[in-house]
């Protein structure tokens, strides 16, 4: 992640901050694979309306859904078990800064956000857990930051993001905390946007 951010910053060195048109509205759609911390796989979809507050900056609200299959820790058992997360939903305020001199449609960016994440439900494969009433496990809602970086080329966008969601307690059907789920995940995104004005000066 540090190498990616360093590369993007270097691409922007020496370029004047001149890019999209201030005051313009834009709407973005992104999707791609998601990788939970400590293993697993999933997919994400983000829908993000934005407003350009300057020619090289915009703010927005990202509505995201990430379906993740990952490992969870069950306190009474020494091993981890794979759990299936039905939907990690989020609403995140975002800020992006662009490096572009106005002479090209190529625009590297870095960004960050802070939002509300909810893990709707977790189901553990109980076939390997004997004599335990696992049931349908619920996790908590969390506030968390997010960082991202990438490039835009014309109306297309490619990036990487990391969501720093705190761990959630897993509860059984009676509300007792019986385990923990790691919610942090890394995502690669491909997408496009509409609106926002032009990157090029002419």
Domain count across the chain: 1
Q: Encode the chain (202 residues) as per-residue pLDDT tens digits.
A: 555 545 444 444 433 334 478 888 999 999 999 998 887 889 999 999 999 998 889 999 999 999 888 777 777 665 555 555 557 899 999 999 999 866 678 899 999 999 999 876 655 555 545 555 554 555 578 899 999 999 999 889 999 999 999 887 777 667 777 777 788 999 999 999 988 766 555 4
Three-class SS string for the chain?
A: CHHHHHHHHHHHCCCCCECCCCCCEEEEEEEEEEEECCCEEEEEEEEEEEEEEECCEEEEEEEEEEEEEEEEEECCCCCEEEEEEEEEEEEEEEEEEECCECCCCEEEEEEEEEEEEEECCEEECHHHCCCCCCCEEECCEEEEEEEEEEEEECCEEEEEEEECCCCEEEECCCCCEEEEECCCEEEEEEEEEEECCCCCCC
pTM for this one? 0.78
Domain residue limits at 135:
2-195
Is there a domain that residue 66 lies in? yes
Is there a domain that residue 76 lies in? yes
Is there a domain that residue 202 lies in? no
Q: What is the pLDDT of residue 137?
A: 53
Is there a domain that residue 201 lies in? no
Q: What is the pLDDT of residue 199?
A: 57
Q: What is the pLDDT of residue 13?
A: 40
Is there a domain that residue 61 lies in? yes
CATH number at residue 137: 2.40.160.20
Is there a domain that residue 145 lies in? yes
Q: What is the pLDDT of residue 14?
A: 36
Q: What is the pLDDT of residue 102?
A: 65
């Amino acid at each position: 992640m540090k190498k990616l951010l360093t590369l993007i910053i270097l691409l922007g060195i020496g370029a004047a901050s001149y890019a999209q048109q201030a005051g313009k509205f834009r709407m973005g759609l992104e999707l791609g694979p998601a990788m939970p911390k400590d293993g697993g796989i999933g997919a994400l979809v983000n829908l993000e309306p934005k407003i350009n507050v300057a020619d090289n900056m915009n703010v927005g609200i990202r509505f995201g859904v990430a379906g993740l299959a990952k490992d969870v820790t069950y306190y009474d058992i020494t091993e981890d078990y794979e759990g299936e997360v039905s939907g990690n939903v989020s609403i995140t305020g975002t800020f992006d800064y662009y490096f572009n001199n106005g002479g090209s449609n190529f625009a590297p960016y870095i960004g960050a956000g802070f939002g509300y994440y909810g893990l709707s439900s977790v189901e553990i494969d109980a076939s390997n857990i004997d004599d335990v009433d696992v049931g349908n496990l619920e996790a908590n809602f969390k506030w968390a930051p997010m960082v991202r970086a990438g490039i835009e080329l014309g109306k297309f966008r490619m990036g990487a993001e990391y969501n720093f969601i705190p761990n959630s307690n897993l509860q059984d059907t009676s509300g007792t905390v019986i385990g923990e789920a790691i919610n942090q995940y890394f995502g690669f995104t491909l997408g496009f946007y509409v609106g926002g004005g032009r990157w090029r000066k002419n």
